[in-house]
Structure 1
Amino acid sequence: MTHTLTEAAEPADTLAELQCDTRAVHWLARCATSGAMQLWQWQAHSGATPRCLISDGVGSQVNQYGGGSYAPLLGGVAWVRQHDQVLVYQSAQGDTELWQRRPHTAYGGLCADPTRQRVLAVEEDACGQRLVAISRTGRTLLAEGEDFYGAPVISQSGNALAWVCWSLPHMPWQRSRLRLASLTASGELGQPTEWDFGAAIGQPQFGPNDALICMSDHAGWWQPWRVDLASPVCLSHAPFDHITTPWALGERQHAWSLDRHVYCQLHQGAMQLYRHANGATHAVLAAPGRVIGLALAEHGDYAIVQCPDAGAQLLRMERDRVIRCVVGNKPPLVTRSAQWLEAPVGNAGETAHGFFYPALLASSESLIVRIHGGPTAATYPVYDPLVAYWQEQGFHVLDINPRGSANFGRRYRECLQGQWGLSDREDVIALVSALRQRQPLDPACCFIRGQSAGGLTALNTLATTELFAAATSLYGVTDARRLAAQTHRFESGYLAWLMGDEQAMDSRSPLQRIARCTRPLHVLFVQGGQDAVVVPEQTLRLKTHIEAHGGHAECLLFTHERHGIRRPQARQAMLARELDRYRTHVHAARLIGTKVVAP
């Protein structure tokens, strides 16, 4: 039994934003028909099956990447409606109230304040961001003056609030600060205390007795630090990242209680989940993969994970190391798991990393290389129905984590400073060359695809090497200088750090690289019509340019999509066209009888 196109088009990230209250566990699940995220609930001790609480699209648009779009509160839930960013409260009885509706304003990072019957949130509009408290009686301003706010969290006693803030031109994983302030009985903030380690801070959490624990990478790795002492104390010196890069609000990949705690560590790009209880620590996952979120409650410890042999799952960690799957199943299909691949690059001792998924047909000489977005993001060795589908269709797949990717420490991330458009291309070449040492490949049957920032890498590599017959750019960056001028506020200072001045942006952009290419190029562009990160005008401009210079370019423009293609019908159309183009090239190569290029 093989994957259908419909199954292949299903995104791997179908579960997100895990939270608990005293009786139930909540999470977001992607609707199979609309692609929207819906809010689900499972009553832990009721014996009932999980149920959908809110079928409307739930989601924040803060920073364009959202996160923290709901919070369980007083037996009900406060949530942000995706399409208009209205903040709604739904009671345990199902009654709804509109708590906040402000024109052109987004909400995210929601945090429940049950003592004061309100929810705290990051509020964003054209003037900037701020921390606010919202209840059925109105809105209260808590903090303003910083460029960005994130990760608000209230102590278990309800007497303190911690949050992260940062300023342009930095991204939150480059330089950010932690603040802690007391909360009065009426909910006003006291004078905050600030921690600034000269690096980045993320995911503050309160542990037992209101101990404040955050992740800081000032020692080179995202490691847990307790900061509410006379001198901050590192709780794990293991030389690994313990969380992922904070693109979204409301992420939680560590949690602490009086008698136990759960945390993560990343090794060779794979994430293992650990649980410490009764004086002993054990690994939870049979094989490392990816941990989306964690939550502790009296009724159980929970995690949303992705594994090499299963899609997204909601797990319940019970006593005696028993793991129960609440939501999600293993696919009854045979795939070939990821193989670790690395190659020397750059300065002595530097390497680039990737995961290689062999085709089911061992003699295949066809390859699809995938470049993730960000570029400060990552790919993981987890089950992906699209990768499995391509394996079944006779393609090897190589997922690359170029220098600058997350999950390999601060030094690896900062290798990309001033080097984007150069080192990422070098890493693709190095890893494909390393792969050829073990696997025969035909360049006429090799393809490269990249999404967002990965689109820039894919297009540049296509234009400057003969490693690939064609490329697919999914809402990819084509003109870096224009992107810096047009993109949204969150990433408005990012391009200068990645590339440097405008001259560097121009020279490393696909628009100029392709203009200098003397052979016709074959590119499929996929673009959302409402994309505010990579605006459609960039994509259409490069398409026209390729066609004017003898190449073949096609653009699938999905009018109602944003930065990322989410609707199932759109994803199916996109993948069907992409596969058709790859098959056309492979068929032509077989007719011509091309030969394998030696390493």
Structure 2
Amino acid sequence: MGEDMMKTPYGTWPSPIDAALAAAHDGRPDWVGIVGEETWWTEPRPGEGGRRALIRRRADGHEESLLPPPWNVRSRVIEYGGRPWTAVAREGTPLVVFAHFADQRLYRYEPGGTPRPLTPLSPVGGGLRWAEPHIDLARGEVWCVLEEFTGEEPGDVRRVLAAVPLDGSAAEDRGAVRELTDGRHRFVTGPRLSPDGRRAAWLAWDHPRMPWEGTEVLVAQVGEDGALRDVRTVAGGPDEAVAQVDWSTDGRLLYTSDRGGWWNLYRDGTPLCPREEEFGGPLWQLGLRWFAPLDNGLIAVVHGKGSTRLGILDPETGEIVDAAGPWTEFAASLDTHGSRIVAVGASPRTAYEVVELDAATGRARALGARHRDPVDPAYYPEPQIRVFTGPDGREVHAQVYPPHHPGHAAPDGELPPYVIWAHGGPTSRVPLVLDLEIAYFTSRGIGVAEVNYGGSTGYGRAYRERLREQWGVVDVEDCAAVARALAEEGTADPARLAIRGGSAGGWTTAASLATTDVYACGTIIYPILDLTAWASGGTHDFESRYLEYLIGSFTEVPTRYTERSPVTHAERLTTPFLLLQGLDDVICPPAQCEELLARVQGQKVPHAYLTFEGEGHGFRRADTMIRALEAELSLYAQVFKLDVPDVPRLELHT
């Protein structure tokens, strides 16, 4: 320890990373694509009402937003969305098609002009929504996924592949949209056309399966009239999850399947690089890409166990050469053109940025949305990749971020407070990347541990399926195991442990507070709290049968739905908690929070409930994120008795 380090209690260290700074750097670039010689992507703009801007990086390196506010390039298909834009270069002037969040219509746009709608509005339910657009200039159409609501209930919906005329003739006429499939499957991904244009491939699945349980690979012939004929299933099934399908440059079918226990890449049914690694992931959005073929027959791949790398796979030898550079985590967003590969990468010292890899030279560089340190990186946390032991000796993966400050240290003998972060999904994984929300706490002297509990992706199908019918048990146990281990090894103060999470992580947080005695408080963010209500039309269609996997069939184990729900055990909530909820959330509606609050009334448990108009599932506006983060820190300050004068005091009610 340096002589100039000040001895100050944990949780009270002064930090240049305030809530406004963390909010301004929330989110990441996404949906990358190559248009001619240019690279395009979407990126968040928290300060502009949370919209997603479409960014164009010209060949000379200049970056610009193609569309001014309030244009918001974001699809609501399956509520979590999907790829919202596509473009083709035509004689130097791009033709762009994109989904606008406010009305979910597809628009056609040529830079310098005005966006013109291609699809109609619908007054029924959630309307008409579109994702994964692909421009077919020869036919004058946009091929994509259509999600169409047929009634007012969340389940009154159908999804098909559709072709939208580029001339705008369907802007007021639903009948002008040409349907390519018959709606026999509840869910579909966008069609991928073979290099000769004669075949199309896509994924499909049906309730009650989620896409990481089982999907089918469908292939059809494309007729001269643009109709799909002779549709047949060529891979996948109820117990085989195919995450992505595409074509090699020589017209052979490529897909990632977990039939061997890990998402591996297959060509015409043969594994190209069988490893205990993942070359795919959970399909929470339509259009995610973990691989992309190159013109020379090689394949760009995002792969790894836990953390992911960007590499180039030789399908003839099964060898992979990974990109050199500082990036240790890549998102499922890829595109290729010639020998160029564009992806989205990050590391514990850098936020996500657009990365270009030249397959010919092996040179990789940060191309767009480049990371720039908003503060001295000496304030960033220094994470540790850990594997803990859970019940029955099972492995529990986690990332631990100890308190870290370049000029402050705690008095001798003091142990730091720690917050356990439970990720959403729950079929998901938290990446090991620079997150200023984490740095907001660690730079003040509060440790953070992110837990990839049983059920998380990235560690094979068996690890993922630990949560089958065990949600509210395995996730709670694994988070508690990490918290207890940190306390027992002397890393964390056992009396100052907290837990927080959003969505499914909000469920884990609430269930942990109700069923364990590990935590002194918790932050519950847009949570699931009542399984019976959630399973009875209380959420959107995509996840409406998810609980059959996570809990079991409601008709067979109805009492399990009641017993596992935190609202059932509201009387066990005896520690302070903070509830944060968007009022426009259709995935985890505010009614869930309101029910919990009604049941804790009169129990004299200190708590606060903050709601945010205009926010849905996942906060996107800067002012919302600032208020939420400061409220969370104030909760910990009050419970852990920390002196934090620069943060507004959260009023706790009893």
Q: Is TM more than 0.5 here? A: yes
Question: What are the residue-to-residue correspondences of 1:501-520 with 2, within 5 Å?
Answer: 501-515=557-571, 517=572, 520=574
Establish whether residue 531 from structure 1 lines up as the match of residue 585 from structure 2: yes
Residues 553-577 of structure 1, C-alpha deviation per residue, up to 9 Å, x if partnerless?
Answer: 2111111111111111111011111
Equivalence for 2:199? 160
5+ long unaligned stretches in structure 1: 591-599
Contact (CA 8 Å) 1:521, 1:546: kept in 2 or not? no
Q: Which residue type is aligned with residue 157 of structure 1?
A: D
Moved over 6 A (4+): 277-280
Contact (CA 8 Å) 1:12, 1:311: kept in 2 or not? no
Q: Which residue type is aligned with residue 31 of structure 2?
A: E
Q: Which residue type is aligned with residue 399 of structure 1?
A: E
Equivalence for 2:303? 265
Structure 1, 476-485 or 292-301: larger mean CA deviation? 292-301
Partners of 2:224 and 2:57 in 1: CA distance: 32
Per the alignment, in what secondary structure is the counterpart of residue 192 of structure 1?
A: strand
Q: Which residue type is aligned with residue 561 of structure 2?
A: M
Partners of 1:511 and 1:152 in 2: CA distance: 42
Per the alignment, in what secondary structure is the counterpart of residue 320 of structure 1?
A: coil
Q: CA deviation at 1:124?
A: 1.2
Q: CA deviation at 1:275?
A: 2.5
Partners of 1:558 and 1:530 in 2: CA distance: 8
Equivalence for 2:10? none
Contact (CA 8 Å) 1:460, 1:509: kept in 2 or not? yes
Establish whether residue 357 from structure 1 lines up as the match of residue 381 from structure 2: no
Q: 2:254 aligns with which of 191, 207, 213?
A: 213
Per the alignment, in what secondary structure is the counterpart of residue 208 of structure 1?
A: coil
Equivalence for 2:3? none
Question: What are the residue-to-residue correspondences of 1:100-179 with 2, within 5 Å?
Answer: 100-103=119-122, 104-126=127-149, 127-135=157-165, 136=167, 137=169, 138-143=176-181, 144-179=183-218
Question: What are the residue-to-residue correspondences of 1:316-327 with 2, within 5 Å?
Answer: 316-318=356-358, 319-327=360-368
Per the alignment, in what secondary structure is the counterpart of residue 489 of structure 1?
A: coil
Q: CA deviation at 1:48?
A: 4.2
Equivalence for 2:388? 343
Establish whether residue 39 from structure 1 lines up as the match of residue 79 from structure 2: no
Contact (CA 8 Å) 1:443, 1:469: kept in 2 or not? no
Partners of 2:608 and 2:18 in 1: CA distance: 24
Q: CA deviation at 1:491?
A: 0.6
Change (3 A) 1:11 1:480: farther
Residues 226-249 of structure 1, C-alpha deviation per residue, up to 9 Å, x if partnerless?
Answer: 12xxxx111110111112211001
Q: CA deviation at 1:95?
A: 4.0
Establish whether residue 576 from structure 1 lines up as the match of residue 630 from structure 2: yes
Contact (CA 8 Å) 2:576, 2:639: kept in 1 or not? no
Residues 96-135 of structure 1, C-alpha deviation per residue, up to 9 Å, x if partnerless?
Answer: 3211023111111222323323211111122311110112
Q: Which residue type is aligned with residue 130 of structure 2?
A: Y
The root-mean-square deviation of aligned C-alpha atoms, in Å, is 2.1
Contact (CA 8 Å) 1:159, 1:183: kept in 2 or not? yes
Q: Which residue type is aligned with residue 121 of structure 1?
A: C
Question: What are the residue-to-residue correspondences of 1:485-500 with 2, within 5 Å?
Answer: 485=536, 486-500=538-552
Equivalence for 2:651? none
Equivalence for 1:52? 65
Equivalence for 2:37? 23
Query: Across the two proteins, how many residue pairs are aligned to each other?
Result: 580
Equivalence for 2:79? 64
Q: 1:201 aligns with which of 209, 229, 242?
A: 242
Partners of 1:478 and 1:81 in 2: CA distance: 32
Bigger relative contact order, structure 1 or 2 (CA pairs below 8 A, ≥6 apart): 2
Q: CA deviation at 1:92?
A: 4.5
Per the alignment, in what secondary structure is the counterpart of residue 64 of structure 1?
A: coil
Q: Which residue type is aligned with residue 547 of structure 2?
A: L
Change (3 A) 1:48 1:239: closer
Question: What are the residue-to-residue correspondences of 1:546-585 with 2, within 5 Å?
Answer: 546-585=600-639
Contact (CA 8 Å) 1:89, 1:98: kept in 2 or not? yes
Change (3 A) 1:207 1:447: same
Contact (CA 8 Å) 1:71, 1:119: kept in 2 or not? no
Per the alignment, in what secondary structure is the counterpart of residue 85 of structure 1?
A: coil
Q: Which residue type is aligned with residue 229 of structure 2?
A: G
Partners of 2:67 and 2:415 in 1: CA distance: 46
Equivalence for 1:294? 334
Q: 2:96 aligns with which of 77, 87, 100?
A: 77
Q: 2:446 aligns with which of 395, 399, 405?
A: 395
Partners of 1:400 and 1:583 in 2: CA distance: 23
Contact (CA 8 Å) 1:547, 1:553: kept in 2 or not? no
Identity of aligned residues (%): 25
Partners of 1:589 and 1:467 in 2: CA distance: 23
Per the alignment, in what secondary structure is the counterpart of residue 118 of structure 2?
A: strand
Equivalence for 1:446? 497
Change (3 A) 1:109 1:346: farther
Q: CA deviation at 1:379?
A: 0.4
Contact (CA 8 Å) 2:487, 2:493: kept in 1 or not? no
Contact (CA 8 Å) 2:454, 2:464: kept in 1 or not? yes
Per the alignment, in what secondary structure is the counterpart of residue 190 of structure 1?
A: strand
Equivalence for 1:540? 594
Q: CA deviation at 1:398?
A: 0.3
TM-score scaled by length of structure 2:
0.85
Contact (CA 8 Å) 1:12, 1:312: kept in 2 or not? no
Residues 135-176 of structure 1, C-alpha deviation per residue, up to 9 Å, x if partnerless?
Answer: 224410000221111142222322221110000000111111
Equivalence for 1:371? 422
Structure 1, 303-312 or 155-164: larger mean CA deviation? 155-164
Contact (CA 8 Å) 2:302, 2:330: kept in 1 or not? no
Q: Which residue type is aligned with residue 125 of structure 1?
A: E
Q: Which residue type is aligned with residue 178 of structure 2?
A: T
TM-score scaled by length of structure 1:
0.93
Equivalence for 1:587? 641
Change (3 A) 1:51 1:13: same
Structure 1, 277-286 or 535-544: larger mean CA deviation? 277-286
5+ long unaligned stretches in structure 2: 1-14, 150-156, 170-175, 645-654
